Every structure is written in structure tokens, then in C-alpha cells.
Amino acid sequence: MPQGKPDVVPDDGLTTRQRRNRPLTIVHTGVGKGKSTAAFGLALRAWNQGWPVGVFQFVKSAKWRVGEERALRVLGDSGEGGTVAWHKMGEGWSWVQRSPESNEEAAREGWAQVRRDLAAQTYGLYVLDEFAYPLHWGWVDTDEVVEVLRSRPGTQHVVITGRNAPAALVDAADLVTDMSKVKHPMDVGQKGQKGIEW
């Protein structure tokens, strides 16, 4: 079990308090399950801290994340923890009036909004769900993302999920977990199941 003790004492000129509140860039990548579910698990902790949580869902699927979305909306509306804002590319981002001409354009619009929110310090935690795909495909420029994340103000944490996270993003991130598939029911013919896949 992790003991919460660092391996080395850093020589970074920061106080312990500053280090405690350092904004983290977190990446969940790899071909195994659990990348997004772990990100939404992190959202529970952020909600519990009273932080505003912003979810940007960079996927198009009616079925995906319905459970997480409903749960986080109930939590956000409970008045007990932080607020939750849920933004979906699949149905057209709510702040964009017209329909985007392509998934590529939609992904870019999503990133542009994330960038504006980071500048405005809108959220305490950003869940950029499946954002690794538009980066991997080159729809959104990874170098620009890295630069925006590096220079973001305040203590905003960002978690990015998806297979094939670009190397430059992994290099720039503070915490990277690779979810490796050891075994999956689909290997032996099992289809996706409610409560498990969605």
C-alpha cells in the first residue's frame, strides 16, 4: 500500500504547502479497462473536497458514461460537495450553437473551451475523457496542449484518458498510469454488459 512518503526530498524551492497544492496533470492510458472509470473515481474525491468538477466527454456514444453522468449530476446537485458541469461532444457541446462539420472540428471546439476554462480557473478538476484520441489523431495539437497545461494558473488538476496518449503529453504529465489488459471477457466471446461497460 502506498504510504504517502516521497522517495526523495525535492530541491525545487517550494514550501511543503505549495507542493501539497501543486496542480497535477494525470494521464490514464493503455489498452486495458479502467482508464475512464478511474478518472471518474477521482472526480468523487474532487467533489468531496468541494471543488467544481468539469467533465469534457470527447466521445460519441449514446451509451457510454450514462451511469457516471447521472451519478455525478446527482452529486453535483446534492449541495453537499462541489458542483459538476458535464459537457458532451457527442450531442454537440452546449456552448456551440451550430453543429460542427466534423468530429475533428468538434474536438477542437472542446479543447478551445477547456483552454478558456483553464484561463478563467473555472474548475478544480478537469476530466478530459478520451481526449488522448484527438491528440493521437492530430486533431488537436499536443504541443499546444502541453504548453497550455504547463502555464495554467492556480491549482487546477487535469486528468486525461484514452489509449495512445502522445509521448509529449506523457513527458509533461505528473502522474501516468498505463492500464494493461491481462484478461478481458471479450477475448472469450463475452459481449459488453450493463453495469460493467456502461
Nearer to a copy of itself, 81 or 166 (CB): 81
> Which 4-33 residues touch a copy of itself, going by CB under 8 A?
4-10, 12, 16, 19-22, 24, 26-30, 32-33
H-helix or E-strand spanning residue 159? strand 157-161
In the complex, the smallest distance separating the C-beta of residue 54 from a copy of itself, rounded to whole angstroms, is 14
CB of 97 to a copy of itself, least distance (A): 28
The 84-88 sheet, strands edge to edge:
25-29, 157-161, 125-129, 53-57, 84-88
DSSP letter assigned to residue 137: T
The single-letter code of the amino acid at 96 is: V
- Residue 158 pairs with which residues in a beta bridge? 25, 126
> Which sign, positive or negative, has the C-alpha torsion 78, 79, 82, 86?
positive
178 binds a copy of itself (CB under 8 A): yes
Count residues near a copy of itself (CB under 8 A): 84
Q: Does 66 contact a copy of itself by CB under 8 A?
A: yes
Give the residue with the Cβ less far from a copy of itself, 113 or 161. 161
The single-letter DSSP state of residue 185 is G
Question: Which one among 72, 106, 114, 160 touches a copy of itself, defined by CB under 8 A?
Answer: 72
Q: Where in 73-92 is the site for a copy of itself (CB under 8 A)?
A: 74-75, 78, 80-81
Contact 32, 182 (CB under 8 A): yes
Site for a copy of itself in 111-130 (CB under 8 A): 124-125, 130
Site for a copy of itself in 130-159 (CB under 8 A): 130, 133, 157
Burial grade of 79 (CB within 10 A; 0-12, 13-18, 19 or more): exposed
Q: Please identify, using beta-carbon distances, which residue of 98 and 194 lies nearer to a copy of itself.
A: 194
